């Protein structure tokens, strides 16, 4: 009976499968910086849209908005 593939090809396939399995298990679940909370992003946008407002004015507006 003739072999369809050479034995070294089968060994290479096996090494690739093992390497992929190891790489997927050792990869961190979630990389990078954690996401910013939506409310904090809204606050930053409010401050950016109104650069002439000071801390007290921003604080007052946030109290009006209920934040």
Q: Which of 28, 23, 45 is nearest to 36 (CA)?
A: 45
- State the alpha helices, DSSP H only, in the chain: 7-26, 38-49, 55-65
Q: At 52, phi and psi to the nearest 5?
A: -80, -15
The pTM of the whole model exceeds 0.75: no
CA angle 41, 43, 45 (to 5 degrees): 70
User: What average pLDDT does range 53-66 have in this prediction?
Assistant: 84
CA-based torsion, 8, 12, 15, 21: positive or negative: negative
**Rounded-to-integer distance, Cα 24 and Cα 29, Å:** 9
Question: Between 3 and 60, whose confidence is greater?
Answer: 60
Look at residue 25 and tell me whether its pLDDT is greater than 80.
no
């Amino acid at each position: 009976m003739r072999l369809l593939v050479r034995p070294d090809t089968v060994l290479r396939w096996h090494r690739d499968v093992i390497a992929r399995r190891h790489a997927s298990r050792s990869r961190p679940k979630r990389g990078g910086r954690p996401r910013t909370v939506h409310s904090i992003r809204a606050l930053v946008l409010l401050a950016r849209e109104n650069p002439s407002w000071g801390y007290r004015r921003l604080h007052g507006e946030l109290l009006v908005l209920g934040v």
